[in-house]
Amino acid sequence: MSFLPPMPSVQKNMLSEVRRSQRANVLGVGVDAVDMQSVVDIIAGAVASGTKGYVCATGVHGVMEARRDGLMRQVLADALLVVPDGMPTVWMGRLQGFRWMQRVFGPDLMLAAIGAMQGCSHFLYGGAEGVAEELEASLRGRFPGVNIVGTYTPPFRPLNADEREQLRALLQPLRPDITWVGLSTPKQELFMAEYLPRLDTTVMIGVGAAFDYHTGRLKDSPAWVKQLGWQWLHRLAQEPRRLWKRYLLNNPAFVSQAVLQLTGLRRFDLLR
């Protein structure tokens, strides 16, 4: 990515008018103290008002990327919502007094929002070749009548000028209410921040591996595994070559810095 465009004033207004939640400070990253229903309500409000914004589902990986990269940290600070995608972010919030805070797992958010927001139009961006089309078929089976207006499978690299124009031209007549972005972190967050102002869509939501979960390429964890915060182990067992470095480096670093923050030995300031 060559640049991060200035956030449109309409999205700035969105932060004050639609974003009703409080934020937990997770190593200097503001994570909204929300549950699934409040997130769906905020997204529905954005769509109803036609106000642009993007939603980031952020867990330990996203927080640690933001610690290393100031651009990623700014992207999260400018988001409409940063929802707690993992239990460690939830626990950090609850320890700061946000007892109502619950996990909002990206793949679950996709199903909850599509199921609750009847009449919205959806566009699917991401996945390997053919995955977005399979996801469309899966969602049509789950939600008869769902309005999916199109799909796009991006290359693994950043879009070139021709591909950017192709994507813009594709979305211009479709004007989807919600574009679901299924890329890895931090690619999907950086993509949403750059492309939301350029494209005719209202809300972008980064849902990570949701495309693979909902097409059966990845198996979801049992509920009790998720509640214990062990889903990362379940995921690592399915993709050890790709994910071992992410978890074995990020997780210990997160825990050590979280202890420093919670004990007051180190201060992490939020971006405003």
DSSP string, 208-252: TTHHHHTTTSSPPPPHHHHHTT-HHHHHHHHSHHHHHHHHHHHHH
Instruction: Determine the 3-state secondary structure of 264 from DSSP.
Output: coil
pLDDT single digits (tens) 68-79: 999 999 999 999
pTM attached to this predicted model? 0.88
The upper half-sphere exposure of residue 176, i.e. CA atoms within 13 Å in the direction of its Cβ, equals: 27
Q: What is residue 128's DSSP assignment?
A: S
The domain locations on the chain are 13-262
pLDDT single digits (tens) 143-189: 999 999 999 999 989 999 999 999 999 999 999 999 999 998 999 99
Alpha-carbon radius of gyration of the chain: 18
pLDDT single digits (tens) 194-205: 999 999 999 999
Asked whether the predicted pLDDT for residue 250 surpasses 70, the reply is yes
